[in-house]
Amino acid sequence: SLGFSFAAVQSRAPAQSPVALMRSLHPPLPQCLYQLLAFVPPSNGSLGKPGTAVVMVDTQHPLTLQLNGSEGDRELCKIQYHFGEFGNYSLVVKTLSTSTKTVSCDLVINEGPINSYLPILFAFLVYMGILAILIAGHLFMKIDPVRSWVYKKLNPRETDRLINSELGSPNTTDSVSSDPTPRLWSTVSRQRLRSLDTFRGLSLIIMVFVNYGGGKYWFFKHESWNGKLCFPSSVFSRFVFIMGTSISLSLSSMLKWGSSKRKVLGKILWRSFLLILLGIIVVNPNYCLGPLSWDNLRIPGVLQRLGFTYLVVAALDLLFTRAGAESGTLETPCPALQDILPYWPQWIFILMLEVIWLCLTFLLPVPGCPRGYLGPGGIGDFGDYPNCTGGAAGYIDRLLLGENHIYQHPSSSVIYQTTMPYDPEGILGTINTIVMAFLGLQAGKIFLFYKDQHKQIMSRFVIWSIVMGIISAILTKCSKEEGFIPINKNLWSISYVTTMSCFAFILLLLIYYLVDVKRLWSGAPFFYPGMNSILVYIGHEVFENYFPFKWKMQDSQSHAEHLIQNLTATTLWVIISYLLYRRRIFWKI
């Protein structure tokens, strides 16, 4: 099956001694218990027939295979190897000395593994070909006769840009003006930052592809626990980050147009309520267990966390906004920090939230678990804390929400064989999601304070990225497991937030430079789903199992078929968002 290879173990050990084959991840961090793969029967000495056992091994990580004798569970041999997909291997065990009971273990490749990355290369070439055709078409459109002919045939109408249609931002009707394109920067500029929609759309499309399966490749799946910054682990965090940026811009625009704080706060409450409601009722993974009922209703979720995060960050920005701060008329003791110092109450609030997270995470007593435990439980940490998945974060969710109302299949169950439910969108992690959105809010304030000053904007993004990177290096000690607080997406640890913010500032800088400063890229095709983010996210969840987004495959073990299906579904949502954009249809909350 996908991600596995077959291995046959041939034992020529003495007839009276069956052996046991164990396996563990390599390197085994956190320290995992060896797991029994198979008992290998003794060889038949009279017939010269070796004892044989066939097992299936994981190919995602390097493995340590250990052979133990049945007498005293003595270790006979140990090998470390990274198996390839669909390979066929033999582990040949031979007795070297019957007196000392020493054996040799030799790994033989019977059938070489396949190159499972060829479908990715082919898909890349196909999309590059499509891109080349589109670029050629764009160049042809610069030729006057060709452009005139196309315009006559299509009669396109320029789509009016709607302001604040992004997720979690008040829309154009919030403005007291009837002008459908309110000014973002000043009374002169009417152009919206396309880089924000492009950033949001890029994050959204990657999220859709990953949720649809990512071609069943292991690197398109979430990391089991602590670990490297795998592809999917950064997507949701970037979405949260750009939501914070949009909050800053949209609230500033509404207040400039004369909307009262009371009216804006009411809209913030309403939008938060709708996001949470949509997450609980419409986008709820527990539908797969049958008709939804309170007995198995999952309370946390992606939209629920976005809704609550939006509520806190937007309300915080609204309540502590100071008149004249963004226009530069408010004097500050340090001009270099003019986008930070006027908002010191917001920073105090965020720091208090972080202190609460640290105290609950490291000081809250959790029954049966060591204080401050951040591990996956299960067989991790030598199996000493099997029911401690997530430490305080998991305990708080199970205590306040109940085990049946949180996510039942966490990513840690794959490798660490955890049995406790754990929700990656749980209560405690929401605190650091708010911190992430607040850092995105700072990016929005930079746009507001340094209007059209491209060098200032980009230099401050670089500074923020460096600061976040330094904090991450200190917290993690630049290691996967040995730091004070490891990077962990399941826990939404503070080191995860600072690391993702570091990359988010850099990515936003690059997109801003290409799209809004140099105008070398229009943001297409990601710009279009970025303009209809709510519709695309909810739509891809609701219609996930319907044709043409999914169909019965001829070979469910083929990366190529999975990749074709997942890329087709993702591309369809890009096309749908483009058609909606052309028809000026934007679904906002």
What pLDDT does residue 176 have? 36
∠ Cα 157 158 162 (to 5°): 130
b/e for 395-411, b at 16 or more Cβ within 10 A?
bbbbeebeebbbbbebb
Domain boundary among 94, 111, 128: 111
**Environment class of 529 (CB within 10 Å of its CB; exposed 0-12, middle 13-18, buried 19+):** buried
Q: In degrees rounded to 5, what are phi and psi of residue 195?
A: -60, -30
Return the closest-CA partner of residue 424 out of 491, 357, 497. Answer: 491
Do 103 and 199 belong together in one domain?
A: no
- 28 pLDDT tier (thresholds 50, 70, 90): very low
pLDDT per position as a tens digit, 122-138: 999 999 999 999 888 88
Least confident of 23-37, 120-134, 208-222, 230-244: 23-37
Residue bearing tokens 């503070």: 494
Q: Classify residue 153: in a domain, yes or no.
A: no
Whether residue 392 has pLDDT greater than 90: yes
Cα gap 104→95, rounded to integer Å: 6
Instruction: Output the six-digit token pair for 580.
Output: 């909606």
Q: Do residues 199 and 507 lie in contact, with contact meaning Cβ atoms separated by under 8 Å?
A: yes
Catalytic residue selected from 61, 222, 454, 562: 222
Three-state DSSP class for residue 86:
coil
What pLDDT does residue 266 have? 94
- 72-95: average pLDDT: 83
pLDDT per position as a tens digit, 195-218: 999 999 999 999 999 999 999 888
Whether residue 16 has pLDDT greater than 90: no
**Which residues lie across from 69 on neighbouring strands?**
19
Whether residue 159 has pLDDT greater than 50: no
Three-state DSSP class for residue 415:
helix
Of residues 47 and 542, the one with the higher pLDDT is 542
Do 79 and 205 belong together in one domain?
A: no
pLDDT per position as a tens digit, 278-320: 998 887 766 656 666 788 888 999 999 999 999 999 999 999 8
What pLDDT does residue 77 have? 82
What pLDDT does residue 335 have? 72
Give residue 383's region: left, alpha or beta (phi > 0; psi -120 to 50). left
What pLDDT does residue 147 have? 79
- 1 pLDDT tier (thresholds 50, 70, 90): very low
pLDDT per position as a tens digit, 335-389: 778 888 888 999 999 999 999 999 999 999 999 999 999 989 888 888 889 899 9
State yes or no: is 562 an active-site residue: no
Highest mean pLDDT among 110-114, 163-167, 261-265, 435-439: 435-439
Q: How many C-beta atoms surround the C-beta of residue 239 within 10 A? A: 26
pLDDT per position as a tens digit, 461-474: 999 999 999 999 99
- 72 pLDDT tier (thresholds 50, 70, 90): low
When the pLDDT of each residue in the chain is averaged and rounded to a whole number, the result is 83
What pLDDT does residue 10 have? 57
SS (H, E, C) 182-200: CCCCCCCCCCCCHHHHHHH
Cα gap 95→251, rounded to integer Å: 76
Q: Classify residue 512: in a domain, yes or no.
A: yes
Question: Which strands form 102-111's sheet, in the order they lie side by side?
Answer: 51-58, 4-12, 88-97, 102-111
For strand 102-111 and strand 51-58, is the pairing parallel, antiparallel, or unpaired? unpaired
Strands (E), 116-209: none
Do 88 and 210 belong together in one domain?
A: no
Do 264 and 361 belong together in one domain?
A: yes
Domain boundary among 56, 89, 111: 111
Return the percentage of the chain with pLDDT > 90, whole number. 48
What pLDDT does residue 556 have? 84
Do 200 and 77 belong together in one domain?
A: no
Do 93 and 218 belong together in one domain?
A: no
Q: Classify residue 154: in a domain, yes or no.
A: no
Q: In degrees rounded to 5, what are phi and psi of residue 388?
A: -110, 25
- 438-467: average pLDDT: 94
What pLDDT does residue 167 have? 45
Whether residue 30 has pLDDT greater than 60: no
Domain boundary among 64, 93, 111: 111
Q: Classify residue 589: in a domain, yes or no.
A: no
Whether residue 565 has pLDDT greater than 90: yes
- 161-169: average pLDDT: 42
Do 94 and 198 belong together in one domain?
A: no
Q: Do residues 349 and 317 lie in contact, with contact meaning Cβ atoms separated by under 8 Å?
A: no
What pLDDT does residue 257 have? 86
Residue 424's domain spans which residues?
194-324+336-583
Cα gap 347→332, rounded to integer Å: 16
Q: Classify residue 141: in a domain, yes or no.
A: no
Do 102 and 230 belong together in one domain?
A: no
Q: Classify residue 132: in a domain, yes or no.
A: no
Give the CATH number of the domain where residue 33 resides: 2.60.40
Q: Do residues 81 and 59 lie in contact, with contact meaning Cβ atoms separated by under 8 Å?
A: no
What is the tally of structural domains in the chain? 2
Whether residue 117 has pLDDT greater than 80: yes
Q: Classify residue 175: in a domain, yes or no.
A: no
Do 84 and 199 belong together in one domain?
A: no
Whether residue 168 has pLDDT greater than 70: no
Whether residue 570 has pLDDT greater than 60: yes
Do 403 and 270 belong together in one domain?
A: yes
Do 544 and 420 belong together in one domain?
A: yes
Distance of CA 573 to the CA centre of its chain: 19
- 27 pLDDT tier (thresholds 50, 70, 90): very low
Tell me the C-alpha to C-alpha distance, in Å, between residue 256 and each of 259, 270, 584: 7, 21, 25
Q: Classify residue 419: in a domain, yes or no.
A: yes
